[in-house]
A and B are shown apart, each in its own frame.
Chain A
Amino acid sequence: MVDQVKVIFKAIEFIESHLKEDITVAQIADAAGYSLFHFMRKFNQIVHHTPYDYLMRRRLTEAAKALIQNEQRIIDIALDFAFNDQETFSRVFRKMFQITPSQCRKENGISFQFLLQAKTLDELKFINSDHFSIPLVIEVEELTLTGLMIALDKNEQKVATQKKQVLSDFLSACSLPKLATLYEIEYGLNHQFGKRYSFVGAEKEKLIRSSALLVDQTINKGRFVKMEVLESEMSLALAYIHTTWIPRVGLVENKEMFVCGWRYDATLKERTIFILIPVK
């Protein structure tokens, strides 16, 4: 399997270096050294996208970045990424991102979570590992949490430190029973407020000691996509759910927030976390 993942990764690299050219799926198959039919089966099995779907989503992602980063005319961006005309480009752009290219430019963007970045070898290995289990769609009851909220920095590198700090502040502001579940909620994925916020807390009724510092947050009842992964795989799992699994099964995200949770056990070297993403 590892060898096949590497061959398909070659195809991914070929796609990356030809995003702006009018390449065919047959040419991609050829670059990987497979017949077209066999390549389509293998690509789908390993990447969880059809080759053409992957090519289109990668082009649209790079086009979305171009819309935000430069002032090129929309038609020129469309032509740059091998779309024949602006109408086709706008239609498929809307299908992927639920907004038009001009809205994307005006509202300054699409959150990075919804952009399909080029699949890395690590991501392909993750989704083809023996312990990988596909996400599930579940119904979640309303849940009231108590914890701390912070505004996240725009610099992604600082976010991890911020989250660590707020978790530590929360743990010193309360007492938790052994193996209580901790929740982290991230808000503002749709860039509506131009800011992202993070909340860390636990179920209100399970807290042994609370503090006046803590605030309540509610996870509303609804449908969620749930996936369990090792903490070290969280960013791979989030990218997979947002940009591969949810579009593949035809669900639409409620792009306001996502939740992750884990059993609080300071003795564990690596914890298993669950991710909950609300869907419509």
Chain B
Amino acid sequence: MKPKIIESKPITLVGMSFYGDPFDTHAGWDEDNQIGLLWKRLFSFLKKDTVFSFLAQSRAWYEVHIHSEETQAKGLFEVFVGVEIERARVTELPAHLLVKNLSAEQYAIFTFEGEEISSDWEKILETWINESDYQSAGSYNFQYYDERFKGLDRISESVLDVYIPIKKKSD
């Protein structure tokens, strides 16, 4: 699979985070694993927040997987889910919400459709980066959900973009 390479400005996100093994209670493709619960927690908070409830209407959502040494050793990830926000508004955010700054300048975007979304696409990403002229430019990747993603119950009609931060191997 050949990804699209894009240049990007830094992306500022606001949302919520989970650290641990996302599948420690449930492992199915349902919404009840830790990531599903995290999304529910974020939506529930945003809908009730008096200042930032407008974010609940956002058309594009991000799920960021942040790796560390512990990720490799113990299978523990930080998973952050959120939405883009204007930088100027960051100081107004309540304590419940976190800010993530994704500073990479270049991304490879892989687009997965239908059943591909529930396949082992991370392996495709790993293989591509090992064989390409690029290397990882940050220990994270993110999934970008917009109107093309119809939900886990309509996965066959859905489209998902996955971004990995990259830079040229010679850089």
Residues of A that sit less than 8 Å from B by CB: 24-26, 33-38, 40-45, 50-53
Contacts and interface: CB of A to CB of B under 8 A. Distances in A.
B22 A40 contact: yes
A51 B122 contact: no
A37 B27 contact: no
A173 B54 CA distance: 76
Interface residues of B, number: 22
A43 B74 CA distance: 13
B72 A45 contact: no
B23 A50 contact: yes
Interface string B101-142: 000000000000000000111110110000000000000000
B34 to A, nearest CB: 11
The 5 closest A-B pairs by CB, nearest first: A35-B122, A44-B27, A45-B27, A25-B75, A38-B120
Contacts of A36: 71-72, 75, 122
Given A44-B27, A50-B24, A52-B21, A37 B65 contact: yes
Name, among B21, B28, B76, the residue most crowded by chain A CB atoms within 10 Å (CB to CB): B21
B122 A37 contact: yes
A44 B25 CA distance: 8
Given A25-B74, A26-B73, A51-B75, A38 B123 contact: yes
A40 B70 CA distance: 14
Given A35-B123, A38-B123, A45-B27, A25 B73 contact: yes
A38 B122 contact: yes
A34 B120 contact: yes
B1 to A, nearest CB: 14
Contacts of B27: 41-45
Interface of B: 21-24, 27-28, 33, 65, 71-77, 119-123, 125-126
Given A41-B23, A50-B21, A35 B73 contact: no
Given A26-B75, A35-B123, A36-B75, 13 more contacts: A24-B72, A35-B120, A35-B126, A38-B122, A41-B27, A41-B33, A42-B27, A44-B21, A50-B24, A51-B75, A52-B74, A52-B75, A53-B24
Nearest to B74: A52
A41 B125 CA distance: 17
Contacts of B121: 35
A25 B72 CA distance: 6
Given A44-B24, A45-B28, A34 B72 contact: no
A239 B73 CA distance: 27
Contacts of A44: 21, 23-24, 27
B77 A37 contact: yes
Contacts of A42: 27
Nearest to B20: A50
22 contacts: A24-B72, A24-B74, A25-B74, A26-B71, A26-B72, A26-B75, A35-B120, A35-B122, A35-B125, A36-B71, A36-B72, A36-B122, A37-B77, A37-B122, A40-B21, A40-B22, A41-B23, A44-B23, A44-B24, A45-B28, A50-B75, A52-B76
A30 to B, nearest CB: 10
B142 to A, nearest CB: 13
A50 B74 CA distance: 9
Nearest to A40: B75
A24 B68 CA distance: 13
